[in-house]
Chain A
Amino acid sequence: SQQGEEDPQALSIQEGENATMNCSYKTSINNLQWYRQNSGRGLVHLILIRSNEREKHSGRLRVTLDTSKKSSSLLITASRAADTASYFCATVPIGNTGKLIFGQGTTLQVKP
């Protein structure tokens, strides 16, 4: 089952601009995570936000979580060409905390 749906599916911006990606999910969660994947390679963990947290920062990344709307957003500020990648949200459902359910991802292109 696909818990997370991401929006937009693809995003193209200029270097220096901000990029915002959104993730919606269906069931109550224990935590939500964001990952980055460079073309066909392994995923890299970016941020984990727990269900009782509303916002988290890591460097140029800002993640928000709205459990009432069952949605999260990932903001990348001052983007760089090296940020070009696919970004995935993944949720851990309450009651089945071993599962990790991924969204379909947003493909971000940052043009130099």
Chain B
Amino acid sequence: EAQVTQNPRYLITVTGKKLTVTCSQNMNHEYMSWYRQDPGLGLRQIYYSMNVEVTDKGDVPEGYKVSRKEKRNFPLILESPSPNQTSLYFCASSAFAGTAGEQYFGPGTRLTVT
């Protein structure tokens, strides 16, 4: 089944404790991206990757890191999480080359930082 998977789905952590949210797609898509969704602010793009080893900042990259060592994986790293990073996070992928096209979204990761 073609899908984007994220792990974990739910995470409660404390300020400053490094964490990684994994994202994997099995559709051989070139493009992958991370978003966060907050009430009243909608979805905002954190980082995106057009291809392996190529990553770029979205609108809200501060406090996050990403890497794209393999085509299928695009982990999101929070080196020192803070309470303002409490949010619902989505990973997505797209087959479009060179542009953000039709996105396939993962199920989401609900992160709480206390």
A and B bind: yes
Query: Do B90 and A43 touch across chains, with their CB atoms under 8 A apart?
Result: yes
Q: Does A112 contact B (CB under 8 A)?
A: no
Asked if B21 CB lies within 8 Å of chain A CBs, one says no
A89 to B80, CA, bound (A): 32
A99 to B103, CA, bound (A): 12
Closest chain A residue, CB of each to CB of B42: A104
Interface contact B42-A2, CB-CB below 8 Å: yes
Q: Place the interface of chain B in its size category.
A: 20 to 34
Are B59 and A31 within 8 A (Cβ)? no
> Nearest Cβ in chain B — how far from A33, in angstroms?
7
Complex contact A88–B43 (CB within 8 A) = yes
Rounded to whole Å, the gap between the CB of A49 and the closest CB of chain B is: 11
CB distance from B17 to the nearest CB of A (A): 25
A sample of 13 more A-B contacts (CB under 8 A), given A90-B43, A104-B41, is A30-B99, A33-B101, A45-B102, A48-B101, A92-B100, A97-B98, A98-B56, A99-B48, A99-B59, A101-B45, A101-B59, A102-B43, A103-B42
Could you name 6 residue pairs across A and B whose Cβ atoms are closer than 8 Å? Answer: A30-B99, A42-B106, A42-B107, A44-B105, A92-B99, A103-B42
**Chain B residues in the interface with A (C-beta under 8 A):** 4, 31, 33, 35, 40-45, 48, 50, 56, 58-59, 88, 90, 92, 98-108
In the complex, the 4 A-B pairs of residues with the closest C-beta atoms, listed nearest first = A42-B105, A97-B99, A100-B100, A102-B43
